[in-house]
Each structure stands twice: as structure tokens, then as C-alpha cells.
């Protein structure tokens, strides 16, 4: 024990100023011997710097200079998506897709810090996203963790190259926050399952070749114990995709309908009726890596709104200055809290409930931020992209609406607070 | 990249916690807050024996020569224990000002005794009062005289300190009167004095934020413990989501303040260009967060939280005093705005 109360007690006579001889024991040498010499260090390590520089050099060579205009000029969403697929192919050939995956499966075995470097560098360079976001970020890692050799061989390479696009079928109309209550059913029929069900809030459904699904295979078992993780071919007969129009007017999401869809039994990932554990690992990945680019996106929007506030004179308004300074502080604190969470996950190897803290923070921040932006823009804040007078092609009117979804998607703020209360603080489960 | 305390720093922090649990438990805090000065010379000499009075000062003046992160980690534990007395006034304020502004001879004379635990000091700039002047051996005054800022050191014998009763019972405020105008000793003048003063405020503000963080963390822990044991309607109240969500908010406030506090300490230590902004971000956060954590903690305690015997109000009082000290959230946000927006 470093602190010895008895030893301390002996030296604890009252010290009148200047009278008691100083205890020469207290020196830097004494401290270093007692505690050690390590210090906090936020710098990147030499291999991390090398990784970053290599990536920067590759982007310098390969990133299309005016990709946003090229992409915007394409008409249909299919054409736009094909553009992103081509970009993913190029990244794949450069070895920059799925860097965290083990080398045997086409990755680089990159550390979490290196993944974060990649996400940040892509955001700094304003690079296009990959086409197969869910395949690379969620399904691939789950396949690596739970798949058999045949499944890995069949699916992984095509996920990385973008040849096969993946979506995820978890949520249902009656199973949102209470995901384990889902009712889509798969019944065994020889060497197949027959699938019937309805999924919602499905991203990329219209473009997907495959869907990673959570379905009920044992209706008699307790709700968490009768679920199976199933890989479903979206081109199978009986699969129907309907776009789900959201309040912004876009259709980022779809509804999926499955009617008598035949799925080969070899497409079960993990064990039958163990799907909940497989799905949890997917959700952990979701909170682990999503969001590392957000502070850069926020900072870019912040710099832009500062520019606009200077231009219209609001930057001199003391109330606006308070609100902008609060946003600036929030963005920085978000970045820093994320760095701490990454440090922890990097050391423990397991994504933890820190993800919930970050999710609550950024989603609620973005709603405040978009509100501040619209106050600065005044009447122009309501103009949408179709209006020639709208600032930044309607970005702020869109952002105001889109941010409303942030505290709902990927786990509502209420569910995240339940997670913090139960898993960070150890309070008893409330339901 | 590792944004966490190193093993050495964590060991220092753990040791500080054990020391304070043994030497400055809440019973001792309550005993001291009933005394005239809230200062205990015996506790002070024990603190000195831990090296804390010289923690960031050069070894040649009997200091330990450690950095801001070590100071922050130690102060976090002091804030957790609600340690009473003149540490903030003496070390991060007066000591840092002496280290930045005084000559080598003056440092030997005034800074070294602080490091050795033999002297305490206070700082006075404009305004009305100086913190913990009542137990100080000398006062450093920052004053605009003859058209320039001057830092002047006054011995306690040349200063009258009149107690000013205030919210925080663990740290005392005093009205200052210089009684012997001939006794002052000039430490620095002009731009040199200004730079030293600015540096002192950066260091002391960061130290204070770390201390506030420790207090917030403790209020959270006390509250969660209570929510797990207090039963109503046959259940621990911590099972109700209305209570759980208040607790989760407290976690958010504590964890975001922790990020801001240690980054400010690191940025100052490494002299990063964004250090000053980091300090203001940290203080703007902590000023509101400590009070908000106190609000939720007392709310969850219900009637018990409003009693004198419950410790939460002692933290709440410290939270209010700390919120005001070195500028509240509004003031620091305006500083951030000046850095980001100009004007």
C-alpha cells in the first residue's frame, strides 16, 4: 500500500510556518520510485501515423476531385448507387474496405484506433461513402464471429468488393425498442426454412441482394430464446420491398414483406434459436464504429453557420454568441468523450455501454444545433432545396427535420438512458 | 493515442483517494466547516507529506515538478472528499503566480515554503474578496497602478482580513484591506505580470474544474446508492425509469465534464494552441454540470436531500461557489465566442 496512515500520522505534528524541518523524502525521485513515470499521451503512435499517411497518399491519388457534382448530376437513385459501388470497388482494390477485418478475410487486422483514423480521414477528405455500409460494418463482422467456413467463403469477399449489397431486417411494426418481441416466423421444412413476416426501418432494402434477419423459430420458447439469425436472398420469390417515406420527404428506409420465402437451412448464422446473442454482437458493432466521423461533420456545419452568422450580422448578437459557443463546446466535448470511449474499447476489446452515452449526447446535441442554425438564418431557415433563395441548397431546412429522427433511430434516447442506468450504474431493470 | 490516465497517474489518484478517505472523511469536513477558518494545520502538514503542496513546482524550490494532469487527478480527489481549506488559494493560485512571475530569490523565499507545506498564500485581484486569506502567510495582489498591471506581494502582517460569510462552508472569503502600504514587494509589472496572471487563471480554472468533477462524481455515487436502497411502493426507487433517467443524465454530465477537464489539463501541460479555448470549454461545462448534478441528486433524495444532516447540500454549496469562481458558464462561453467568432 502506497499510503500508510501510520507513517503519515508520525510526521503529522503541527507545522508552524518556518519551524519544522522539511521532510527531504518528498522529491521527484521519491515520486517516480513510488508511482512510476508514465504520462497521458494523446499522440498517434508511429505505426498509426504511417497508416494515416499511407491512406492520405492513396486518397490524394484516387479520390475523384469533384465527386459531389458528378454524383449529383446522376439522375436515378440506382445510378447514384452504382457510382458508390464503383467507388467501393476502387477502395477495395486499394485495400481500404473492412480494414478491421482479419487479414485472412481480406482486411488488414487494423486496430480500433486505425479504424477511427480511416473514418476521420474519409470525413476530412469529404470522400463518398461505400455502397455496402451495413455489409462491411455490421454483417461482415458478425459473419466473421459466428459464420462457418462455407459461409465465410461464400459471402465475405463479395461484401468487401461491393458485389453483393446487404441490408438488415431487425425492427418490426410491433417490435421496436422491444426487439425481442418480433413476430416474423421461419418454420423448418426439410433442409429449408419457410419465412413469413414484415420488417420496417430497413436501410438500403431497395438496393440489397441479401438481408441479415432476426426471425422467430421457436414460438413456444421465452422471447429471447426462440430467435434465429438468418441470411436471406432478397431475390427469392415472395420478397417485396416498399419504400417508407419519412417526414423529410426522402425514402432512406423501406418496409420488407416476406411471404412463403424459402431459405436454405445452411443460411442460419450461428445456432438455431441462438439468434439473440448473434444479433447483440451486431448491435455492439453498430454503436462501436458508427459516429466516429460525426464530430468532423458537425465541425464542418458549425464553421459554415459561423460564416453565415458573420455575413448576416448575427455573430455580433450576444445571445447568438452564447448559443454558438455552447455548440462549439458541445462538438469538442463530443469529440473528446469519443476519444475516451475509443481508448477504453481499444484496451478492453469489447464495445461497452459508453456507446449509449455518446448516442444520447450527439443526437440531442444535433437537435439543439439545428435549432440554433435556423435561428441564425431567420426566415431563410424554412426554405427547402427547391427554392432558389434557400441557403446551402436547403441543407438547414432539411437538417432541422432530419435531426428530429436522431433521438429515435438506432435506439431511442429513452432506451439508451435505460441502458446507462442498468449497465453503467447497476440500477435494477425497470421492465 | 490513449486518452486516459496513465498507470502512474492512476496510482497517484488511487493513493490520493485512500489518503483522503482516511485523513479527511465527511466527519472531518463537518468538523472543520464549524471552525473559524475551515483550515487544519495537521491535515495541511499531511498533505505536504504527500507532496501535493509542491506538485507542479520545480524541484529546485522543493517541488515535485509534475504536470497539469497530475494536479488535476489530485484535485479531482480533493473535490470528491470536499477537502476544506486553502489548497486552491495556495497552490494553483498563489503558487502558480509566484512560479510564473517572481525572481529566483523571491521564489526561494516565498514559493519554496509553500512547496514544503510551511506557508499558505492567497490572491486578490480587483473585486471585494480573497479566498482563504484568513490563514494565508502572504497575499499576492494584482492591481493596475501607474498605468500598468502590477503583482505585489504583501506579508500577512500588512493585511487585514475580515470574514465574509458565504454559501461554501469549506472555503472562506475575506474582505481585504491593506494596512501597511509600505510593506508591499513588487513581483512583476506590465506585460510580464499580465502573462503570469493569465497563466495562473488557466491553471487555477483547470484545477478547479477537476475538483468540481470529483464532487460531481461523488454526488452521483451517493445518489445511485440511495436509489438502490430507498424503497417506495415496495420497490427500490432506482427501479423507476423517471429516477433512472435522472441518474443517466447525471452520468452524461459527469462523463462529458471529465473529458473536458482532462483535455484542458493535457492541453495546458503540452502547451497546445487550443489550450485557452479548452479551459473555457471545461469551465463552461463544469459550471452548469456540477449544479445540475446537485439538482438531480437532491431531487432523487426527496425530503432527505433537503436536510442539514445529508451531505449533498455541502457539495451543492461548493458547486455554487465554484460556478462563480473564475467566471461562470456565460462568461466562458463569451470567451469561446471571442476565439471562434472574434469581436
The CATH number of residue B212's host domain is: 1.20.140.10
Question: Average of pLDDT values for B50-64?
Answer: 96
Angle at CA of residue B254, ends B250 and B259, nearest 5°: 150
Q: Which residue is associated with the grid cell 432512406?
A: A252
CATH number among 3.90.226.10, 3.30.450.40, 1.10.540.10, 1.20.120.450, domain A46-131: 1.10.540.10
pLDDT of B278 over the 80 cut:
yes
Q: Establish if B332 belongs to a structural domain.
A: yes
* Fold (CATH) for A291-424: Butyryl-CoA Dehydrogenase, subunit A; domain 3 (1.20.140)
Q: For residue A251, what pLDDT is reported? A: 84
CATH number among 3.30.420.10, 1.10.10.10, 1.20.1250.20, 2.40.110.10, domain A166-277: 2.40.110.10
pLDDT of A331 over the 90 cut:
yes
Q: For residue A346, what pLDDT is reported? A: 81
Q: Establish if B72 belongs to a structural domain.
A: no
Reduce the DSSP state of residue A157 to 3 states and report it: helix
Band of residue A354 on the pLDDT scale cut at 50, 70, 90: confident
Q: For residue A23, what pLDDT is reported? A: 60
pLDDT tens digits, residue range A287-310? 555 578 899 999 999 999 999 999
Number of residues that this document lists for chain A: 431
Cβ atoms of residues B211 and B75 within 8 Å: yes
Q: How far apart are CA A287 and CA A335, in angstroms?
A: 15
Closest-CA distance of chain A to residue B127, Å: 24
Closest-CA distance of chain B to residue A34, Å: 9
Q: Do the Cβ atoms of A22 and B116 come within 8 Å?
A: yes
Q: For residue A168, what pLDDT is reported? A: 93
pLDDT tens digits, residue range A164-198? 999 999 999 999 889 999 999 999 999 999 999 99
pLDDT tens digits, residue range B155-203? 999 999 999 999 999 999 999 999 999 999 999 999 999 999 999 999 9
Q: Establish if B50 belongs to a structural domain.
A: no
Q: Establish if B247 belongs to a structural domain.
A: yes
Q: For residue A9, what pLDDT is reported? A: 39
Return the half-sphere exposure (C-beta side, CA atoms, 13 A cut-off) of residue B220: 28
pLDDT of A18 over the 50 cut:
no
Give chain B positions within 8 Å (CB) of A19.
118
Q: Establish if B337 belongs to a structural domain.
A: yes
Q: Please state, for a pLDDT cut of 70, what percent of chain B lies above it.
A: 100
Q: Which residue is associated with the grid cell 468540481?
A: B212
What's the domain count of chain B?
1
Ranking A247-251, A351-355, B133-137 by mean pLDDT, the lowest is A351-355
Band of residue A72 on the pLDDT scale cut at 50, 70, 90: confident
Give chain B positions within 8 Å (CB) of A321.
333-334, 337, 341, 343
Distances (CA, A) of A134 to A131, A160, A244, B99, B228: 9, 11, 18, 56, 39
Mean pLDDT of chain B: 97
Find the residue in B nearest to A359 (Cα): B252
Distances (CA, A) of B52 to A178, B45, B88, B200, B273: 51, 10, 11, 17, 28
- Identify the CA nearest to A360 among candidates A394, A330, A393: A330
Q: Which of A286, A354, A388, A409 is catalytic?
A: A286
Give chain A positions within 8 Å (CB) of B2.
40-42, 343, 346
User: A24 versus A169: which is more confidently predicted?
Assistant: A169
Q: Establish if B13 belongs to a structural domain.
A: no
Q: For residue B1, what pLDDT is reported? A: 83
Question: Average of pLDDT values for A15-23?
Answer: 48
Band of residue A6 on the pLDDT scale cut at 50, 70, 90: very low
ipTM for this prediction:
0.97
Q: Do the Cβ atoms of A315 and B23 come within 8 Å?
A: no
Ranking A67-76, A133-142, B92-101 by mean pLDDT, the lowest is A67-76
Q: For residue B298, what pLDDT is reported? A: 98
Active site residue A120: no
Q: Please state, for a pLDDT cut of 90, what percent of chain B lies above it.
A: 97
Q: Which residue is associated with the grid cell 438564418?
A: A377
Closest-CA distance of chain B to residue A414, Å: 8
Question: Average of pLDDT values for B297-305?
Answer: 97
Give chain A positions within 8 Å (CB) of B73.
none
Closest-CA distance of chain A to residue B2, Å: 5
Q: Establish if B234 belongs to a structural domain.
A: yes
Angle at CA of residue B323, ends B211 and B201, nearest 5°: 70
Q: Which among A24, A26, A312 is the top mutation candidate for probing chain B, defined by the most B β-carbons within 10 Å of its own β-carbon?
A: A26
Q: For residue A15, what pLDDT is reported? A: 41
Domain boundaries, chain A: 46-131, 166-277, 291-424
Q: For residue A26, what pLDDT is reported? A: 78
Q: Which run of H or E residues covers position A216? A: strand A210-216
Q: Which among B259, B279, B280, B328 is the top mutation candidate for probing chain A, defined by the most A β-carbons within 10 Å of its own β-carbon?
A: B259
Distances (CA, A) of B177 to A62, A64, B154, B181: 70, 70, 11, 10
Band of residue A5 on the pLDDT scale cut at 50, 70, 90: very low
> Which domain does B324 fall in, by range?
192-341
User: A231 versus A27: which is more confidently predicted?
Assistant: A231
Amino acid at each position: 500500500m502506497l499510503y500508510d496512515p501510520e507513517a503519515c500520522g508520525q510526521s503529522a505534528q503541527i507545522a508552524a510556518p518556518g519551524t519544522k524541518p522539511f521532510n527531504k523524502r518528498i522529491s521527484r525521485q521519491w515520486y517516480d520510485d513510488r508511482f512510476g513515470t508514465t504520462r497521458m499521451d494523446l499522440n498517434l503512435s508511429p505505426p498509426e501515423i504511417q497508416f494515416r499517411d499511407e491512406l492520405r497518399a492513396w486518397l490524394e491519388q484516387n479520390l475523384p476531385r469533384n465527386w459531389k457534382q458528378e454524383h449529383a448530376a446522376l439522375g436515378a437513385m440506382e445510378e447514384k448507387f452504382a457510382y458508390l459501388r464503383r467507388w467501393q470497388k476502387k477502395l477495395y482494390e486499394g485495400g481500404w474496405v473492412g480494414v478491421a477485418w482479419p487479414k485472412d478475410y481480406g482486411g488488414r487486422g487494423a486496430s480500433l484506433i486505425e479504424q477511427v483514423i480511416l473514418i476521420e480521414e474519409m470525413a476530412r477528405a469529404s470522400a463518398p461513402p461505400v455502397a455496402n455500409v451495413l455489409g462491411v460494418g455490421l454483417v461482415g463482422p458478425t459473419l466473421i464471429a459466428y459464420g462457418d467456413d462455407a459461409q465465410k467463403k461464400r459471402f465475405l469477399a463479395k461484401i468487401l468488393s461491393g458485389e453483393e449489397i446487404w441490408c438488415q431486417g431487425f425492427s418490426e411494426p410491433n417490435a421496436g425498442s422491444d426487439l425481442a418481441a418480433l413476430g416474423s416466423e421461419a418454420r423448418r421444412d426439410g433442409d429449408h426454412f419457410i419465412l413469413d413476416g414484415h420488417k420496417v426501418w430497413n436501410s438500403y432494402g431497395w438496393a440489397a441482394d441479401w438481408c441479415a434477419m432476426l426471425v422467430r423459430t421457436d414460438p413456444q420458447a421465452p422471447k429471447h430464446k426462440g430467435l434465429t439469425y438468418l441470411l436471406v436472398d432478397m431475390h427469392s420469390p415472395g420478397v417485396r420491398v416498399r419504400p417508407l417515406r419519412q417526414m423529410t420527404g426522402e425514402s432512406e428506409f423501406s418496409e420488407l414483406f416476406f411471404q412463403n420465402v424459402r431459405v436454405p437451412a445452411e443460411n442460419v448464422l450461428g445456432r438455431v434459436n441462438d439468434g439473440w446473442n448473434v444479433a447483440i454482437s451486431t448491435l455492439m458493432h453498430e454503436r462501436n464504429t458508427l459516429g466516429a466521423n460525426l464530430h468532423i461533420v458537425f465541425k464542418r456545419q458549425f464553421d459554415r453557420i459561423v460564416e453565415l452568422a458573420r455575413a448576416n450580422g448575427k455573430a455580433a448578437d450576444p445571445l447568438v454568441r452564447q448559443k454558438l459557443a455552447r455548440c462549439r463546446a458541445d462538438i469538442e466535448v463530443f469529440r473528446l468523450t469519443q476519444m475516451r470511449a475509443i481508448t477504453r474499447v481499444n484496451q478492453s476489446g469489447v464495445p461497452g455501454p459508453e456507446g449509449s452515452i455518446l448516442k444520447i449526447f450527439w443526437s440531442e446535441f444535433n437537435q439543439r444545433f439545428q435549432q440554433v442554425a435556423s435561428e441564425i438564418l431567420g426566415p431563410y431557415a424554412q426554405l427547402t432545396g427547391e427554392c432558389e433563395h434557400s441557403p446551402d441548397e436547403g441543407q438547414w431546412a432539411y437538417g432541422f427535420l432530419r435531426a428530429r429522427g436522431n433521438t429515435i433511430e438506432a435506439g431511442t434516447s429513452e432506451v439508451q438512458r435505460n441502458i446507462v442506468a442498468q449497465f453503467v450504474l447497476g440500477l435494477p431493470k425497470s421492465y | 493515442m490513449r486518452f486516459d490516465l496513465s498507470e502512474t497517474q492512476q496510482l497517484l489518484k488511487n493513493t490520493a483517494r485512500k489518503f483522503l478517505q482516511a485523513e479527511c472523511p465527511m466527519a472531518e469536513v463537518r468538523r472543520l466547516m464549524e471552525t473559524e477558518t475551515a483550515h487544519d494545520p495537521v491535515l495541511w502538514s499531511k498533505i505536504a507529506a504527500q507532496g501535493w503542496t509542491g506538485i507542479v513546482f520545480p524541484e529546485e524550490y522543493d517541488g515535485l515538478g509534475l504536470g497539469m494532469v497530475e494536479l488535476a487527478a489530485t484535485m479531482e480527489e480533493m473535490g470528491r472528499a470536499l477537502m476544506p481549506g486553502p489548497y486552491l488559494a495556495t497552490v494553483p493560485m498563489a503558487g502558480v503566480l509566484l512560479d510564473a512571475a517572481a525572481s529566483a530569490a523571491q521564489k526561494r523565499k516565498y514559493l519554496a515554503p509553500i512547496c514544503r507545506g510551511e506557508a499558505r498564500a492567497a490572491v486578490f485581484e480587483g473585486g471585494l474578496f480573497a479566498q482563504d486569506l484568513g490563514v494565508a502567510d502572504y497575499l499576492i495582489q494584482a492591481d493596475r497602478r501607474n498605468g500598468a498591471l502590477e503583482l505585489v506581494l504583501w506579508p500577512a502582517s500588512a493585511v487585514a482580513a475580515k470574514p465574509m460569510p458565504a454559501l461554501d462552508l469549506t472555503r472562506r472569503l475575506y474582505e481585504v484591506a491593506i494596512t501597511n502600504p509600505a510593506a508591499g514587494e513588487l513581483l512583476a509589472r506590465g506585460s510580464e505580470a499580465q502573462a503570469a496572471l493569465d497563466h495562473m487563471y488557466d491553471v487555477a480554472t483547470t484545477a478547479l474544474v477537476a475538483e468540481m468533477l470529483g464532487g460531481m462524481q461523488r454526488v452521483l455515487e451517493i445518489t445511485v446508492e440511495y436509489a438502490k436502497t430507498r424503497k417506495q411502493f415496495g420497490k427500490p426507487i432506482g427501479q423507476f425509469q423517471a429516477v433512472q433517467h435522472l441518474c443517466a443524465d447525471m452520468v452524461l454530465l459527469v462523463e462529458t465534464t471529465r473529458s473536458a477537464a482532462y483535455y484542458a489539463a493535457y492541453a495546458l501541460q503540452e502547451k497546445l494552441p487550443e489550450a485557452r479555448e479548452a479551459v473555457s470549454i471545461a469551465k463552461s461545462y463544469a459550471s452548469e454540470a456540477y449544479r445540475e448534478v446537485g439538482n438531480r441528486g437532491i431531487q432523487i433524495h426527496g425530503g432527505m436531500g433537503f436536510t442539514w444532516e445529508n451531505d449533498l447540500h455541502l457539495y451543492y454549496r461548493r458547486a455554487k461557489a465554484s460556478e462563480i469562481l473564475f467566471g461562470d458558464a456565460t462568461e466562458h462561453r463569451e470567451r469561446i465566442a471571442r476565439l471562434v467568432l472574434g469581436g
